Amino acid sequence: MHDLFITGTDTTSNTLEWAMTELICHQEKMTKPQAEIDQVLGKDKSKSIQESDISNLHYIQTIAKGALKLHSAAPFLVPHKTEKDVQLCGHCVPKY
């Protein structure tokens, strides 16, 4: 269980790192997420984002999903293969 927690944390931190890297490279895109944070949290810089705020941060959720698409951790995961020919949605997935 401990290894699973560490693995999930590492994947999350890598995704956040890539998202920040993309935003640094495209600084003109920073105004919209900053405005969204200001709208949801207000101008009080001492307030931190709570889990309940996440559902109101639509643009930031989109940024996270975009980072996952551009820099997916999936290529580093264990590959899967079929043990026998399988029909899936009308397509044949042959035994590997």
Per the DSSP assignment, residues forming a β-bridge with 86 are 93
Instruction: Identify the domain containing residue 53 by its residue range.
Output: 2-93
Total number of domains constituting the chain: 1
Q: Is 67 helix (H, G, I), strand (E, B) or coil?
A: helix
Q: What is the pLDDT of residues 2-32, one digit of tens each?
A: 445 555 567 778 888 888 888 899 888 889 9
| Alpha helix segments (H runs only) across 1-96 | 2-25, 31-41, 58-70
pTM for the structure as a whole: 0.60
- Taking a C-beta distance cutoff of 8 angstroms, is the pair 94, 82 a contact? yes
**Residue 38 structure tokens:** 């200001």
Q: What is the pLDDT of residues 26-82, one digit of tens each?
A: 888 889 999 999 999 887 778 888 999 999 999 999 988 888 888 776 665 666 778
Residues 6+ apart with CB under 8 A from 94: 82, 85
